[in-house]
Structure 1
Amino acid sequence: MYAANTSHCNGVLHKLNLLREREELTDVVLEVEGRSFPCHRAVLAAFTLYFRGMFTSGYAEAKQETINIQDVSGVAMATILDYLYTGVLHAEPDQVQAVMSAARLLQVDFVARQAAEYMKDHLDVSNCADVLMYADMQGDSDLVKASNRYMASRFNQVALQPSFLQLSLPLLQSLLDRDDLMTSSEDDVVQAALRWIKSDQEERMQHLPALSKSFRHSFISPKQLAEIETKCLPTDSKVTYSKSTDQRLGHVRTEMQIFLQEDFLGHDSQQCAPCFDPSTGELYRINMPKNLDSFSVTATVDHELYLAGGILAKKDNILPGMTFRQRKFYQFNHLLNTWEPRCEMISPRVRCGLVYLKGFIYAIGGDSAKESAERYDPSCDEWTPIPAIPQSMSSELCVVTLDDSIYVISKEGCYCFSTTENKWRKIADMIQPPLHPQAITYQGCIYCIDCDKDWGDPVQALQTCIEMYNPANGEWKQSGNGKSYVFDTATLVKHGGTLYIFTVQIIDDHRNIVLRKKSVVYVNQYHKETESWLNVTDKDSLVFPSNLMKWLGSGNTGNRTDCLVARLIPQCLGKRTLVEDLVAEMFPDEEEENNDSSDSSGSGISDDSDSEDNLLYQEDSDEDNSHEDGQSGSDEEDV
């Protein structure tokens, strides 16, 4: 006979812990910082090499009823004993280092590893230097490496922290030698080192020659070099610089386009967004937060990315018809390709208008009342409320910035918020009130298109036009001489000093036994001098790869796609991926269909269009389609 009682092990631990709590059959007392911990020798010896060696050796402690434990805090000992008797580890954040130190001393490997992993996962600007010094003292090379990398990723902010000034010379040198310091200039590196010296100038000035070997001379400004030369150095000392001619990683950024499709995180395999480098034609991935969907993203003038709100991506956990808005707010870490939590918003929001303007980030609408607004200050990581929109926005809104003002566009009307006067005012409504507006600013005007017309009404669908708002006269007018557009998805993109609009139309291919949907993409470029949208005929100058268009057309009909432009670091975006692989991963159900494509050799660009307004990308199909191109938009600072 053979039988296994799966609850036996947990039951034994539970009963042993009850005996400990009642102090029954305990045969040793651990004294730690004046606290007494009655325990069982057998339990301690079974789970830690430290106590096994103590109790099975000839040491005096083997027979003592009370044992004093040095170099361990009482809280840490209580935490470790609770783990030994229950299998559950729980420690407050401010006790993690103490618990890790105790676990390493007592040789409780699991606890030590978990504490180290916790510190890796919770590194931030305020604690990373302290963690680095602690990890170096403990000899934990993995934690040292993680701390160093995080400090490099936020170097400018970390260098302003008091703990940065406590770094030892070797740790500071190791940091300043890194190629991946995220700084805007080499002067930042020099100034950080000089700040470290100034904090204890009498003692540390002698280290300037050693630190200067980390400075990359080719990239230091003449003014900064002159300041270094004025420093009073010890006798027989001189400043020598690094021989490296490589720029720091933070100095090398490329303007890239991040494409975000509404509900694109609904696919379990999809936790990233395609990121396109027009200068090379390469596609990359930018990781996105897990378990969030329908969020908003914006970029600052110095290309920091922030993400706000959203709903849980796992919709199985949400009751039908219910939407749970989130207060979450994140900042993108360019080096680590991750999103780091920041101060949560005051109100939960989903698809709010998120924009950056003159040092602040604004979150507008998307709350339960769809009218509140708030402002975020990155310098102090704090949100404060601002006046609410005068009109509740029951439908979707889009938000753009122009000069000192923020513009809100919706079916209920258009409003302008003056950041200097801190108040809203009503402006002219669009000619055709939009259900799902997308907008972008260009040369002092706002361009907007409605991406959610009533597709069951062919007359209304054919009347979808791009409208332009001119703040100078406070009027909307139809752009492109009032030309109308038909599409399933449309997106406005600003690139190379001009505007583009690409539209995706989903068509049915009836040539196959199995009905297959095709994505047909049209692209036009805006010419302001003639107030027209013309097709792009030069393939080589086109800024959108055809296979990226396939991804844009792979979602559900009518899904909104936004394009955010920011300067990113391609090397930090992870493995470069072929567009076809990215599409296959995001939409696995289409992979077999895509592999059967009859057209796999070219870009799919059709050059035989007779219309000056149309440029056609046609995926997996050679059929001729006559279609008037449209343009939908997203402000480059608003997703």
Structure 2
Amino acid sequence: MADDASPKPSPLAVPAGASGHPSRHTYTSSGHLGSLLGGLHDLRRNGVLGMFAGGLREAQQTEIPVHGVTYLAVSKLLDFIYTSDIELDLDNVQEVLFAATLVQLEDVIGFCCDFLYYCLDESNILEVHKLANMFGLKQLEAKVHSYILRNIQTLSRAEVYRQLPEEEVLRVLSSEELEVLSEKEVYEAALHYHYSPEQVETDQVCLQDNLRMLEAVRFCLMEKPVLQRFYSKLVDPCPLKESVAWALRYHDQELLQPVLQGPLTQPRSNYRCILAFGGMHASSSAPDTEAAKGSLFQVFHPGWGEWRKLPAAQAPHMSNQGVAVLNNFVYLVGGDKNTGSFSAETCCWRYDPRHNRWCSIKPLRRQHADHCVCVLGEHIYAVGGRDYSHEMDSVERYDPHTDTWEYVAPLKRKVYAHAGAVLDGKMYVTCGRRRSAYLRETYSFDPATECWEACSDGPVERAWHGAATLNGRLYVIGGTNDEHCLSHLYIHFQPSNGDRLCADVDCDDPPLCLSRTVLQVACFNPAYDSWSLVSPLPVGHGEPGVAVLDGRLYVLGGLSHDRGDRGNRTRYVNVYDPEADRWEAGTPFEGHVSGLAACVLPLPLAVLGQARGWPHRCAPKRAFWEEEVDDDDMHNSGYSSED
């Protein structure tokens, strides 16, 4: 029997007129009936049966009081046990939560946590936080924490903010998931824990005091002029002065910033995005002249459902660049300079997402195009390629501590148009071309021994493809070859018009085999040095960008030879789910593009706020797989680094 005299908790506070809060909600457990029998079986445990054995008081009682639980709460739980439904409202949720915790009805506990979360605001956050701690409800604690992260600006100006536990507030202000547009907002939120908003606004704060919340402020994320003005106002003795001075030194050592990383230099972001740099655009489909000039790059977040353009000063514009991510900085290394004809480059750049800013770093010792770039430890490797005069076996390694490149152990043989990725601390280089031959070779590099070792050959020759690692496997995707060109003895282009095929089988001009798209996707298991084939690509992707986001593999744009021509740039994006071994169409680009350099990076809200959607075109769009190739795209199709 429930103790009806138990004190009833006061109803949860919700401000009047708060229409966004559900005052009552009915929850249903779809899995409850299936687990009921197992729950009854658990009641047969010795501890429960022993209560009713001979010699114990409960064995002689017709009613057994359960103290501290109200009649209403027990009635709600019994209704749920028999019907799988429970109705919660602001008056009963705390009673039900206490009773459900006592008897460990996990479904009801979860429903109570959900209801409390949807009622959560600054008027009751302290009460809900205490409930979570009282009952040890980790899921409710996490929801309260998430609420504070998302509403720090408004919540930090409320009186209840200063009543929250100090450790919880410090954990929030130290989080990379804190949703702020600038670090100045974090600084103000830190001060608001120690002073009222009025005191902060009128500068009635004493920075000479040891204000603990200021430990969470990432001064390095502030712009340098802001820091300089702030530093000039600090008066000794001030515990904050050294932190600001260190942040100024960080800004002064721009090239060393990637190796000066720590908890207070990481960008605040929970938004991991795909970034796509450079590439060659078909002239008629280039969605924005800025893209062709390189003053912006493209960004995709799954929540958007579209690609957006992000302007950035001094952004390089090339194609087939090597791309690497080191300590949340992007490096673009070498590539093709797209100015009328292809020219291999030594230039290298670095992108800082914290401030949406580019800078140049030390150039390569030698020009590299059609190469691959990987990160091993704290170094970046540029592997093989060509300079359009010579194929290369050379490997250069970049040290961000010294901003220098040096030669390390070369490849066993020369190769270009290959792809590389890192798996289990080793770098793998796959396929490519040597002279006119397409390859299926695979080599691995161990930085501990600085030696290259041959691995099993892949299942198909290919070049100008992509590679990525996912779930302990190496995937090789897309590319082209001439393996299935059966009529190559007679196919060549007219000397007078390089865009038209010669149909004369008796012509004495040298034959030319047309490239073909490789749809097979190969998967390498390093534990067994073995390859297998997974679900093939639905369309061709030569010279694609490749990125891994949220456990899925994205293949971006590229050249397609599916129609038997010299290759057309595409706007396709295809996404691979390794669990289901299935490809699905992703969000396509606005324009047709090949030779993108792609990577995944967390972008701060302030930077994401600068991303703009492409202007809508007046003409209705076809599904991208139904598009016809226009004349301009055909004209530009042969202009790629593919031979």
- The TM tier, using the shorter chain, reads 0.3 to 0.5
TM-score between both structures, scaled by the size of structure 2:
0.45
TM-score by length of 1: 0.46
